[in-house]
Amino acid sequence: MTKRFYVTTPLYYVNAAPHIGHSYTNVAADCLARYHRLKGEEVFFLTGTDEHGQKLALQAKEEHLEPKAFVDRMVPRFKALWERLSISYDDFIRTTEERHKKVVQTLLTELYAKGELYEDTYKGWYCTPCETFWPKNQLEEGNTCPDCQRPLEEIAEKNYFFKISKYQEWLKSYIQSHDDFILPESRRNEMLSFLENPLSDLCLTRPKERLTWGIPVPFSQDHVTYVWFDALVNYISAAGYLADPARFKTLWPADVHLVGKDILRHHAVYWPIMLHAAGLEPPQRIFAHGWWKVGEEKMSKSKGNVVDPLEMIEKYGVDPYRYFLLREVPFGLDGIFSEEALITRLNNDLANDLGNLVYRTLTMMEKYFGGKIPEGKGGKGLTNGNLLKSIDEKMERLQFDGALVVIWDLIRGANRFIEESAPWKIAKAKDTKPLSSVLYTLLDTLKMVSLLAYPFIPATAEKIWNQIGIQKKISESSFRQLEEPLIQPGATVRKGEILYQKVET
């Protein structure tokens, strides 16, 4: 069976409403999924929600709800945002689903039977918000969490531990021999540096006397599963690890896990070791993107500087928001969010460059040909033979901003072509053949632009596609059709409204 392209986002913790960070990962994953579909590949795009753990249990208690009732109330908020952002996921998994719980319990049982787990008493420091145990030698000054800087609680309890320390050298060697396993390179180096210190075995359970909201451990009535072990397993449970082994073979290993840099260690250390111990291959690639900041500060609820994606969409539109996220900052680096920067991208790139190109071309089509497409030869418009190759190289490395630069070079080149060819002067000569050639070339270029831009700004691309009179749906097209004569002479163009209205500043 043919290998599918399998892309995942993290499972989002549902203790609060989704924010810009959640939307960033999902927009990037959606762009990647749409791009690979246009390449003619069969894509499986997975997202979902993480619904267990002490933090959620405490939040539910504060709101006087049972944990399941609380997560059932929160999950629709994530799904609604993904629908609003045109996120084309193929599956949405919740860790409270039976199909997932069964795989978690099976994997625990298999690891226990192999002697990979052992029971021991843990005494040390615990961070409830991160749901993580920390050894004394990794603590920040004042016994605060190295990740979130919150105070830690000293506890002592019996738990089951996973012998990840015995796989430390294997993992280090694997990362060193697979340059693209962790990207960007700075994150790869960060993980190799982390592995220079001895790994502590991973605590895989929590006692029920402290926490009941979790997947029961099959070999211990006194424990539930550690929330991170539970959540990471989603990547194989949704792929059919138990339910459909034949399908699982077409999907695993996943092509890319997209994660925020704050959860890289869980994905690049714990997860590969879990898979290796279970006899499964690691994912092909883990890509950790940066954070969006406001000024120099990380967004946080306590600081009151969290950006609400729905508010930005309401003010500026879905595609301008998507475009800004993918174009403004190289994927992998931290970015500084501001509405001023978003407005600049909207006004300059989307309204001035793309919007004007479409409107000018279709206005001339109506003026000189009554909206009917003239005779012309189908092809690549104003592109050169290296354009798609250049974009593909960028997308292979998840350089979304670089791919958009290539596409916008084509758009700006088409605007220059209008100025240089001056169709309004050609029209005065009363010879329609050269005028037909110019306008057909522009329409053919818009065909290229809309197809290439579709993964990034799907609604806009689809609108252009329809405006230039193409009958076949853009979502059912592929890059193989770029040179086909999709622009049919005699078809009618529809100018409609200008694509983007400028925002006054």
Per-residue model confidence (pLDDT) at position 378: 64
- 16-32 exposure pattern, b = at least 16 Cβ within 10 A, e = fewer: eebbbbbbbbbbbbbbb
Give Cα separations from 101 to 214, 267, 309 (angstroms): 10, 19, 31
Mark the ranges of the chain whose per-residue pLDDT is less than 50: none
Q: CA-CA distance, 396 to 409, in Å (whole number)?
A: 19
Contact 345, 320 (CB under 8 A): yes
Among candidate residues 229, 268, 491, the one with its CA nearest the CA of residue 376? 491
Q: CA-CA distance, 196 to 181, in Å (whole number)?
A: 18
- 158-177 exposure pattern, b = at least 16 Cβ within 10 A, e = fewer: ebbbbbbeebbeebbeebee
Per-residue model confidence (pLDDT) at position 301: 65
User: Strand 297-298 to strand 292-294: parallel, antiparallel, or no bridges (unpaired)?
Assistant: antiparallel
Mean pLDDT estimate for the chain: 93
Q: CA-CA distance, 434 to 419, in Å (whole number)?
A: 15
For helices 387-396 and 400-421, angle between their N-to-C axes, nearest 10 degrees? 160
Does a cis peptide bond (omega within 30 degrees of 0) precede residue 434? Answer: no
Q: In which element (H, E) is residue 98 found? A: helix 98-113
Q: Which residue has the tokens 């279970």?
A: 278
Give Cα separations from 157 to 121, 139, 203, 373 (angstroms): 5, 20, 11, 76
DSSP 8-state class, residue 448: H
pTM: 0.93
Per-residue model confidence (pLDDT) at position 145: 85
Q: What are phi and psi of 123, to 5 degrees?
A: -130, 120
Q: Provide the total of helices (H) and of strands (E) in the chain, helices listed first.
A: 20, 15
Joined together, the tokens standing for residue 324 give: 């800004």
Q: List the beta strands (DSSP E) in 128-179.
A: 132-134, 153-162
Among candidate residues 160, 48, 26, the one with its CA nearest the CA of residue 99? 48
Q: Which residue has the tokens 């084309």?
A: 88
Q: CA-CA distance, 296 to 422, in Å (whole number)?
A: 47
